[in-house]
Amino acid sequence: MKNRLKELMLEKKLTLDDLQAKTNIDRKTLEHFEKGLEAGIPNSLEIWRKLANFLKVPVEYLMGWTSDRVTITVNDLNPAEQDAYDRITILLEDQYVPGSVSQSKIGRLLIDTSLMRKIYKMDKFVYGRSWYGRRIIIRQLSYKDIGPYFAGYIELKKDDPKDWRRHAGIGDFDYFYGVDPFTSFPGCPTFAGYLLDDEHHIYVGFDTQEFAAAYDRDDCIEILKEVAKKLASLNK
């Protein structure tokens, strides 16, 4: 089901500029979330949560997974859920020193785990190597009812053009449209910035969500190798 971000923006008479100002989320990122193109964006769950908190609706409702926009209470639990809830709360109260365990942290982690399993039924790194001195990475994804497909990333180095690193550092992947050698990517660049699992290196990347059948893992690897080779020749 389509997410409700645009619907809630209309309901509350908000623009993307309003959301950016209130949440401090990059406008280009908001545009992708509004259009349902958030797949592969790092920290997407945190962004969904931030938007849901601002719009005062449950995350699941905003993402279009439930029609219930009211926060649940224990009265909404069925007998099995009530039993599980009682067991967990009794365990926390009886077996841990009072104040040593944050129930809210545990609850939030359980929610995060559940949501991430729904968002990415399959999300794993399937390739990672250094080619011409640059990291190239391939992830295999399956987003909601789409997939599997692949996302590829290539590292930007310190001796690359400063404008590249500056734009990538703020997540501006649109900047790389038409910039050689990233024109070798399938479609257009769909990512620029830091990966969730690697916050020390900047990457530019693509994904094959729109044409999953046309590119397999090995195709994506060869594309990134060719881009790395071109970048090496540019920096000589």
Q: For residue 55, what is the domain's CATH number?
A: 1.10.260.40
What is the three-class DSSP state of 102? coil
pLDDT of residue 114: 56
Q: Residues 174-232: pLDDT tens digits?
A: 899 999 999 999 988 988 888 866 778 999 999 898 888 899 999 999 999 999 999 99
**33, 129: one domain:** no
Rounded to whole angstroms, the Cα distance separating 198 from 207 reads: 18
Paired strand residues for 125:
139
**126, 58: one domain:** no
Q: Which residue has the tokens 């029609």?
A: 67
**203, 125: one domain:** yes
Indicate whether 112 belongs to any domain: no
Rounded to whole angstroms, the Cα distance separating 166 from 96 reads: 48
Indicate whether 146 belongs to any domain: yes
- CB 42: neighbour CB atoms within 10 A? 18
Q: Residues 27-47: pLDDT tens digits?
A: 888 888 888 776 656 667 778
Indicate whether 90 belongs to any domain: no
**153, 225: one domain:** yes
Contact 209, 39 (CB under 8 A): yes
**125, 58: one domain:** no
Indicate whether 153 belongs to any domain: yes
Q: What percent of the chain has pLDDT over 90?
A: 32
Residue 161 DSSP code: -
Indicate whether 78 belongs to any domain: no
**38, 141: one domain:** no
* Better-predicted residue by pLDDT, 199 or 13: 13
Indicate whether 58 belongs to any domain: yes
Region of 56 (left: φ > 0; alpha: ψ -120 to 50; beta: rest) is left
Q: Residues 135-156: pLDDT tens digits?
A: 999 988 875 556 688 999 999 9
**47, 125: one domain:** no
**Residue where a domain stops, chosen among 16, 32, 62:** 62
Which value, in Å, is the radius of gyration of the alpha carbons in the chain? 21
**39, 126: one domain:** no
* Better-predicted residue by pLDDT, 218 or 107: 218
Indicate whether 138 belongs to any domain: yes
Q: How confident is the prediction for the chain on average, in pLDDT?
A: 81
Question: What angle, rounded to 10 degrees, do the helices at 44-55 and 27-34 form?
Answer: 80
**Residue where a domain stops, chosen among 41, 62, 83:** 62
Structurally, the chain folds into a number of domains equal to 2
**Residue where a domain stops, chosen among 62, 87, 110:** 62
Rounded to whole angstroms, the Cα distance separating 203 from 155 reads: 4
In the β-sheet with 191-195, what is the strand arrangement from edge to edge?
120-131, 134-143, 146-156, 198-207, 191-195
Domain that holds residue 134: 121-234
Indicate whether 79 belongs to any domain: no
